[in-house]
Amino acid sequence: MKVGIIGAGLVGSTAAYTLALEGAASEIVLVDLNKNLAQAHAEDILHATPYGYPAKIYAGDYDSLSSAKVVILSCGVGQKEGESRLELLGRNARVFEEVIPKVMNAANDALLLVASNPVDIITQVVTRISALPPDRVIGSGTILDTARFRSLVGNHLGVSARSVHAYVVGEHGDSEVLIWSSPQIGGVSLLDFADQIGRPITGEVQAEIDDGVRNAAARIIRGKGATYHGIGGGLSRIIRAIRDNEGAVLSVSSRCHSQKKYEGICFSLPRIVGAQGIVSELWPPLNDEEQQALQRSTAIIADAARELGY
């Protein structure tokens, strides 16, 4: 499967590297305003393929996206000193207003996978500009936050994170909602499972895990300037679900359509992902506190999109 990547910075290049090493794509094209950067990453990643899977990896321009099944959007601009969040959003919206028509002209059958932050609002912007059905525009959303949640719960309980069925919903950001009321492990509710094995999830443990998930990005950025390995893995996971038509349930962002009070807002829910994009969106059971938190989270996204004109 051919995958295009717009933006060969840390996230885009790490996604390309992960796709190549996991064999998730047989052809990867990197497109960036800095053509030397895209070429250098393509060449470097190509040199790793003898240790993994064969893949064609190269730098190109928008025309090179032709026949791509998925185009990852990891482009955008960084925040300037003293710049407000809305000002940054406005500048990024203008970037996508320029980029998306070029992508659609070259690969109008492709699914669009948004990785640029703030991912929920950018997903809303891309959905509007592209005029694609919402099921063909997928934001990476809380796929990484969900992975962090499962990892920390699994670590506390001494079980594989893959056996922890738990989700983070809402905004990929400070207002994200960790669902504690309905996760399961082996068909057993999370809290019952924890009690059965003698590792209860107390209020203190829950607060520690919440902090570990919610503030992970800030800690990583303080330490090394940016996050890219985790999201690179998450993007590769979404690509594999599309390539293999898995019908995988992943916490990704898209424009909500199944509940009127959230309709038209892009935020993360567990969604079924396959070859045609998003097949369906699911609503995990939420207690009253989680329902209220989700309403606050989606309101933040809706307000920002409205101020931006989207």
Catalytic residues: 172
What single-letter amino acid sits at 87?
E
What's the CA gap between 273 and 259, in Å, rounded?
19
The helix/strand/coil state of 27 is strand
What's the CA gap between 199 and 212, in Å, rounded?
18
User: Residues for the chain: how many in total?
Assistant: 310
What's the CA gap between 301 and 42, in Å, rounded?
35
Q: Name the H helices within the chain.
A: 10-22, 35-46, 85-106, 119-130, 143-157, 190-196, 203-214, 216-224, 229-243, 288-308
Non-local CB neighbours of 42 within 8 Å, separated by 6+ positions:
16, 28, 30, 57, 58, 59
Report strand pairing: 177-178 vs 168-169.
antiparallel
